[in-house]
Amino acid sequence: MAPKYRSDKNSTLHRYPGLYLSEDGVYFVVHPITKKRGSLRTKDRNVAIRRWSVLNQSWETEVHEWHANSLAEKLNGLSTPASKGDHTLLQDYLKKWRTEVLGHQIEGKRIVWSECRVLSLRGPNKGAPIARPTRVDYASDARQLEQSDDAKFPLSDPQILRKIRKLMSPWLPMPTHYNGLKNTLNRVFLHAVQEGLIDRNPMIDIRKAAEEKRKVLIPDEAYRRITEHLCVHRHNKRDMDGTWRAKICDLIYMMSQQPIDVFNLKENQGELYDKPIDRGDYVAHGVIRFARHKTKIGIELEMNEDLADLWRWFIEFKRREAIISEYLLVYPRYFDMRSRAQHVKHRTMQEAWRDACKKAGYGGMYHLRDLRKKGLTEEFLSQGENDKGGHETEAMRNHYRLIKPPKRARTTIRFEREQKVSE
């Protein structure tokens, strides 16, 4: 077995493959298969060579057996009749599924969507083509996996589980994204089973990554200090009035929706009543009609006076800035020509929030999306059971309610002996 390249320091050991000298003069060995390192606990060259000789004899046997087993695995595969999956790499099949089944193609710098043949597997839309946001997520995941060199293995590879785990391993530190990629691969392999390329979906044996549930409730004082920093917008070396940024946070908080649902709002989705309507236990000053980006569940959110005033503020803001746009949230005119009067982007406010959070002394403790939890928790404490979050399950309602109010009761029983004494 020829020794690997050695530095000048170890050049005198070229006759002893796997034997090395550390910086502190202690000899050590490296296993030829596992590449694990172990100290020989000596600085004496002759002693080190004798100990290496004993190890090398047993290692040579291991190396021969390892090569023999690897060869046997490959040869055993020859007895299995070839299938279409043996000649199709996952990398190529991902692209075929994305373009032909999902209906996502890239022509130059333009994305072209065609008919989608991926159907929803659960929920009220079961059997219907998946929603556009889900198609976008699947396409993004598929492209990311396509570009990995670790995706260059056949669909029917006998070591497919190990290779899938290796393919997905770079995203293990990001459990949410890891599980999204797992879901995309599940749909891809499911289609391969339906096409008869493979017998079984291997993703059944791949576990989801554990995701830490975020249970962060922004205190009122922290929210006040963060939004105070948002009110001053340092732009092009000038301090500008950034009140519109703080107002956007107020809107996310008061509507208690995911930020993406708030940023997509259009002015005609809100209706301000000429006269407030008395609903008995509350007074409605208007209504916002929208559908959740994630579930497409329609919501009619009636506004109290504060939310109605906030909606009116954004309309008047657009009028003052002489901005004509269907969107409710737009950039003011002190932005550059490319951005001014355009639809406010989610990522812009995320960056602004992160910066203001650091300036307020909270580091990365609070996220923009935490405003939804803050709003829904306080709404639950105020009005009790409600559907403001637009959730279909009790589990998801509880996920956004970080504090539960105590159950209230009253005492009506009386002591009988007190009554007898009084008689």
pLDDT digits (tens, 9 = 90+) for 112-171: 888 899 988 876 678 888 888 789 999 999 999 999 999 999 998 999 999 999 999 999
pLDDT band for position 410 (50/70/90)? low
Q: Report the b/e string of 284-303 with b at 16+ CB within 10 A.
A: ebbbbebebbeeeeebebbb
Domain spanning 220-399, CATH architecture: Orthogonal Bundle (1.10)
Core vs surface per residue 356-367: b (16+ CB within 10 A) or e: bbeebeeeeebb
User: Between these two residues, 73 and 225, which has the higher pLDDT value?
Assistant: 225
**Residue 285: pLDDT over 70:** yes
Q: What integer pLDDT is reported at residue 169 of this predicted model?
A: 94
Look at the block and give the residue holding tokens 């003052």.
320
pLDDT(89) > 80: yes
Would you state the pLDDT for residue 132?
Answer: 82
Mean pLDDT, the chain, rounded, equals 84
Domain range list for the chain: 8-79, 84-205, 220-399
Cα Rg, the chain, nearest whole Å: 32
Whether 357 contacts 366, CB under 8 Å: yes
104 is written with which tokens?
């996502």
Name the CATH superfamily, with its identifier, for domain 8-79: Classic Zinc Finger (3.30.160.60)
Burial class (CB in 10 A: 0-12, 13-18, 19+), 45: middle
pLDDT at 416 over 60: yes
Instruction: Give the chain's end-to-end CA distance (angstroms, integer).
Output: 108
> 158 with 202: CB under 8 angstroms?
no
Structure confidence at residue 13 (pLDDT)? 81
Q: What is the pLDDT of residues 201-240, one digit of tens each?
A: 999 999 998 877 778 889 999 999 999 999 999 999 999 9
What pLDDT digit, counting tens, does each position of 262-279 carry? 999 999 999 999 999 998
Q: Pseudo-torsion of CA 76, 78, 81, 82, nearest 10°?
A: 120
* For residues 374-390, average pLDDT: 70
Q: Render pLDDT for 328-378 as a digit per residue (tens, 0 to 9).
A: 999 999 999 899 999 999 999 999 999 999 999 999 899 999 998 888 888
Instruction: Name the strand (E) or helix (H) holding 131.
Output: none
Q: In the chain, what is the greatest distance between 2 CA atoms, to the nearest angstrom?
A: 111
Contact predicate 263/346, CB 8 Å:
yes
3-state DSSP call for residue 284?
strand
